[in-house]
Chain A
Amino acid sequence: MENIQSKVGEPISEELTLVRAAKAGDVQAFEELVKRYDRNVFRIAQHITQNREDAEDVVQDAFLKAYSNLGQFQEQSKFYTWLVRIAVNEALMKLRRRRPERTVYLDEDVQTEEDSMPREVADWSPNPEQQYTQAELRDILSKTIQGLPTGFRAVFVLRDVEGLSTEETAQALELSIPAVKSRLLRARLQLRERLNKYFKRQINGDSIR
């Protein structure tokens, strides 16, 4: 089985040069770091907040916070992991402000009614995503992931969409490694279960659309 590949695999030394220049006050160097990671931060923010305007705010707030706190970045971890941690915290703050009645904590061990045991085991068509247009597919994937608890969404997006390692995800979300693994398994299985209705193989010409 092929490994999930990392989307963020830049040479560290070049990045450290930028980080150190930015630490010394070079805004242009910091802009290079923004260009490198703004798409990632936006994706993470939108996955967590599920709101476009909030995600835009999170991108700005997270980068500004990163810039103004660069002195605290110890260079023992990757700059990107440190930035993701800031972005996740900003996104959670947005979520709490918007939905104060539902306080959101990542370390809650959420037991959902629909837990991870597969209920429907149906094979999918060979290329199920090709049954839909790009826009339809985005809509399906976005609606499907919205239903997951925030902590599951955060772990799934960092590990499987952004390609962080289990250790980096644990660091960014301040969770233990077993907690990341358990949430990841449940997130993956719940998404799989929910996508069944869109992607399962059609039998005897029955259309699911």
Chain B
Amino acid sequence: MNCSDFLKELTDYLDGAIDERTKTELDEHLAWCHNCFVVCNTTQKTIEIYRDSEVYELPEDLRTRLRTAIVEKCEAHKRDKGSGPVKS
């Protein structure tokens, strides 16, 4: 396995979506290839930082305002249609 083979498998490796045999090969590659080790670690960290950092959180006051507007629109839709959502 070379570095570009490793990169191709990186996403499945990080997601734990590979078979045992491929995982062993990737682990062996990581054990001696410092560059791939760093790329793997920093990519994992990239995912974790985005997942945990709450880049776009919905503030509580806006949340309440949006929910009120949604409920009003749904009620209006229900009145217009007579019964609620359109039946399939």
Contact = CB atoms under 8 A, between A and B. Distances in A.
Q: Do A and B bind each other?
A: yes
Interface of A: 1-4, 22-27, 30-31, 34-35, 38-39, 42-43, 46-47, 55-56, 59-60, 63-64, 67-72, 116-118, 121-124, 128-129, 134, 137-138, 141-142, 145, 156, 160-161, 163, 166, 181, 184-185, 188-189, 191-192, 195-196, 199
A31 B39 CA distance: 43
B70 A142 contact: no
A25 B62 contact: no
Contacts of A25: 78, 83-85
B70 A34 contact: yes
A138 B55 CA distance: 5
B51 A4 contact: yes
- Say which size band chain B's interface belongs to: 35 or more
Contact of B38 (A31, A56, A70, A123): A123
Interface string B30-64: 00000100110111111101110111111000110
Contacts of A129: 49, 53
A124 B88 contact: no
Interface of B: 7-8, 10-17, 35, 38-39, 41-47, 49-51, 53-58, 62-63, 66-67, 69-71, 73-75, 77-78, 81, 83-88
Nearest to B85: A70
A47 B44 CA distance: 20
A122 B42 CA distance: 9
A118 B39 contact: yes
Those 3 A-B pairs whose CB atoms lie nearest each other, nearest first: A25-B84, A70-B85, A46-B56
